[in-house]
Amino acid sequence: MGTFIRQHLSPTVFILFSVRICLAQVVPAIFVFGDSSLDVGNNNYLLSLSRANFPPNGIDFGMPTGRFTNGRTIIDIVGKSYCQELGLKDFTPPYLAPTTVGERILHGVNYASGGGGILNRTGFFFVGRLSMDTQLDYFAHTRQDIISSIGALATSKLLAKSIFVVNMGANDFLNNYATQTTSTPRPETFGHALISLYRAQLTKNFSRECRTSWVHPLQREQYPSAGHDCIASQNHLASLFNTARLKPLVTELNANLEGSEFVYADVYNILLDIIENFKSYGFVNFDSACCHSAGRFGGLVGCVPESEICPNRSKFVFWDAYHPSEASNLIIAKRLMDGDLNDISPQNIRKLVQG
């Protein structure tokens, strides 16, 4: 991941939500695929440099769990806070945890992994991480375990009513494309290859029972000459990938995958709006890490036990050099639930709930 806080934002987020989610019937389960922004502890069980199972991470969660923030992730908030009355009474557990077995998997599993990407080679220097393909393989194992438990027909019904969240892609730019020093492909070439693989992954694995997916890349880089400003070239690349690749993919999937409804959620611009108008959201800081170790913005070192913590975590946009604070995640989750077409299109989650 990068170092300076404000300079480099996510190449995007789009969310694919079934019309069935959070309806009057109980949502039986949430299945989560992604990177560090949604990891709830899978990397705890890997030999990885990308881990958050130590304080002060999780300080507002009650303890460090492997979440890369001070409290809850966006999907924690959307999945539990907004849908709890419909049956989602607990947070989705990490797949690699030894306790994620038996009846617990009937309520969903989280496969997200810090450092993971759409491409298998992404994040290789972290050593241990779960790529998108690996996460999908693990989901296949989970599906078979559920079939063994409740039968094939009941499994199909359970998955058809479940929420699927896919949040992947940031590391493919930040910890793959941006780190290439020789034979670097043109951005258009890399973007085309990436979206082609992503299309295949989503189509193959979410075209039948699975109806819901959330994709959220996040990246920032260190460019000292930019000062407090965002890096125009990097943000242009992110924006281009959003508008030219991801948004059309949502339209394509909506047209081709019968029985599913896909929604594009522009978390890139939601977070940018929070940064540019931070005072109106009640923040006092928009460009520094609350968990601060070294560097002008606290971005030279990740959040470690020796880090200093800001006096009021709810007043900082970013928890560490890479991840939003729980306060920011609360705003993002709210705008995904109730935002207009600038935030999420063709409709927000609440309208899907009412639909």
Backbone angles phi and psi of 176, in degrees to 5: -145, -75
Q: What tokens appear for 176 in the block? A: 């793959």
Task: List Cβ neighbours of 233 (8 Å cut-off, separation of 6 or more).
Answer: none
d(CA 165, CA 310): 31
CB 129 within 8 A of CB 115: yes
Bridge partner list, 48: 127
Task: Show the DSSP H helices in the chain as ranges.
Answer: 74-76, 132-150, 152-160, 170-174, 187-205, 232-241, 247-256, 267-276, 326-338, 349-354
- The number of angstroms, rounded, from the C-alpha of 260 to the middle of its chain's C-alpha atoms is 20
At 91, the amino acid letter reads F
- Classify residue 116 as left (phi > 0), alpha (psi -120 to 50) or beta: beta
Task: List Cβ neighbours of 354 (8 Å cut-off, separation of 6 or more).
Answer: none
CB 36 within 8 A of CB 68: yes
Catalytic residue among 39, 172, 287, 320: 320
d(CA 352, CA 337): 9
Bridge partner list, 338: none
Residue with tokens 């880089």: 221
Catalytic residue among 8, 216, 292, 323: 323
Catalytic residue among 36, 131, 162, 213: 36
Annotation marks residue 236 as catalytic: no
Rg (CA), the chain: 19
Annotation marks residue 39 as catalytic: no
Q: Which residue in 193, 206, 202 sits closest to 245, CA to CA?
A: 193
CB 51 within 8 A of CB 309: no
Annotation marks residue 137 as catalytic: no
Q: Which residues are catalytic?
A: 36, 320, 323
